[in-house]
Structure 1
Amino acid sequence: MGKRDELIAKYAEDLRTKCGMEPDMDLLTKVTIGCGPAIYNADSSTVAATQAGELETVKTNFLMKKLGLADGDNLMDAINSVIETYGKSERNKYRAVVYYMLVKHFGKDSVYG
């Protein structure tokens, strides 16, 4: 099992235990691959949910550029909803898990088809 496979297993476990959802492993794998080398860096592998600038980056670079969504209040509402689901007290919110939940929230699985 490679490093990426270990991380995907960890992300799947977070989705099950912390977010209460059974992950679509194929989609989770594609979203994780889409994160690129960021998943291997301790700082960039997580989303700093308390930093407004970080959430703005998720909105701009992921939701608008990657998923092709139009800017609107609903984007930040979705990010906040995902953070709430993950658990505000959860220190490590993995980027791939947050992105996976946002893809599911907006029904944008086809982006990774």
Structure 2
Amino acid sequence: MADWAADVKIYRPDADDAAIAGLEKNYRLVMTDADSRYVALSDAEERATVKANFLTKKLGLELSDADADADLDEVAETMKADRTKSRITVYYLLAEKYGKLGLFS
């Protein structure tokens, strides 16, 4: 199993370990599948899934498509040097942006 906490800490060295553990617990099954453990932020269908399932359903946000796309663009820019964008890291950065890490810790 990959060290998802280490991946998050590339971008947020002081990341909340409890929140990372909570994300890992919530997405344990997703992370075992090679096809779903990474997020293709350049793929429109993948972005729509992240917006609907994570930003709206999990975080409870009501964002316009433009705002959600801007958030995903911001995460993509942050992680641009990383060819494989871990779902845990992407979700951590999005939850952090909206002060929603407490949902996972």
Amino acid at match of 2:67: N
Cα separation, 1, equivalents of 2:77 and 2:13: 14
Q: Which residue of 1 aligns with 2:20?
A: 28
Amino acid at match of 2:43: Q
2:19–2:102 contact (8 Å) kept in structure 1: no
Q: Which residue of 2 aligns with 1:90?
A: 82
**Structure having greater relative contact order (Cα 8 Å, sep ≥ 6):** 2
Report sequence identity in percent: 32
Cα separation, 1, equivalents of 2:31 and 2:77: 22
> Unpaired runs of 5+ in structure 2?
none
Amino acid at match of 1:60: A
Cα separation, 2, equivalents of 1:102 and 1:48: 15
Which of 87, 99, 110 lines up with 2:102 in the alignment?
A: 110
> Unpaired runs of 5+ in structure 1?
none
Q: Deviations over 1:32-65 (max 9, x none)?
A: 1111301011110000122111011100110001
- TM-score, normalising length: structure 2: 0.88
- TM-score, normalising length: structure 1: 0.82
Which of 7, 11, 17 lines up with 1:14 in the alignment?
A: 7
Q: Structure 1 segments of 4 or more deviating over 4 A?
A: none
Q: Which residue of 2 aligns with 1:101?
A: 93
